[in-house]
Structure 1
């Protein structure tokens, strides 16, 4: 089976705490299932959950927010910066509560936004390729 890599990357970018995304191998579409612990399940959600249970081979789960490890991606980005004040300030920014917000503010302050978003896009792309390999899927660019 073949999936557009762009579709996998989009599912990774959209990963959150409320929905789990799946690739429907029959239709080729990305489908979402709400977490019943976070939000009330609609009848459609219940039917979809039953379909996943009845035909699990049809639905391949995309990486969840917790499998993406955005914090680790931030650490890797910081590690790749030249040693110095900027690297130190970004490393300090990701400590404690509010790390993601402070990191984004520091990246903006130091004029590294484009570099960060390019790095993040490449990290997501690599994760998407790895997911395809793990699922035994080929992908198109």
Structure 2
């Protein structure tokens, strides 16, 4: 089976607590199963299909498998030691780390560099997922 890498990356980018995304190997589409405890929505038909035919539906990586915090740490480690690296390291400590990190990269003019790093990390995760699932991918 072959999947478009961009489809995997899009599922990774959209990963959140409210939905679990799957690749339907029969249709080639991405499907989303809502978590009824978090958003009150249920899709009993899709839930039954996934339960009855689990090999048909391959779960995309969840936000917990993506580890955006670790990606931020890796980005900071790649920077030259100094004030910028120190500021960014401090920004990701404690509550509000993601907001402060984004403010800091904007302040230091590193937004494009960060988004390039994040894009590469998502692509690497997507390739690894395809490999683990035994899927060929197209660009």
**Aligned with 1:12: secondary structure?**
helix
**1:41 aligned to 2:41?**
yes
3-state SS in 1 of match to 2:65:
helix
Alpha-carbon distance in structure 2 between the residues aligned to 1:75 and 1:64: 19
Find the counterpart in structure 2 of residue 10 from structure 1: 10
Task: Determine whether 1:126 maps to 2:124.
Answer: yes
Provide structure 1 residue ranges, at least 5 long, that are not aligned to the other structure: none
Where do 4+ consecutive residues of structure 1 move more than 4 Å? none
| Unmatched runs of 5 consecutive residues or more in structure 2 | none
Partner of 1:83: 81
- 1:56, distance to aligned residue in structure 2 (A): 0.2
TM-score by length of 2: 0.99
Alpha-carbon distance in structure 1 between the residues aligned to 2:47 and 2:98: 32
- Scaled by the length of structure 1, the TM-score of the pair is 0.97
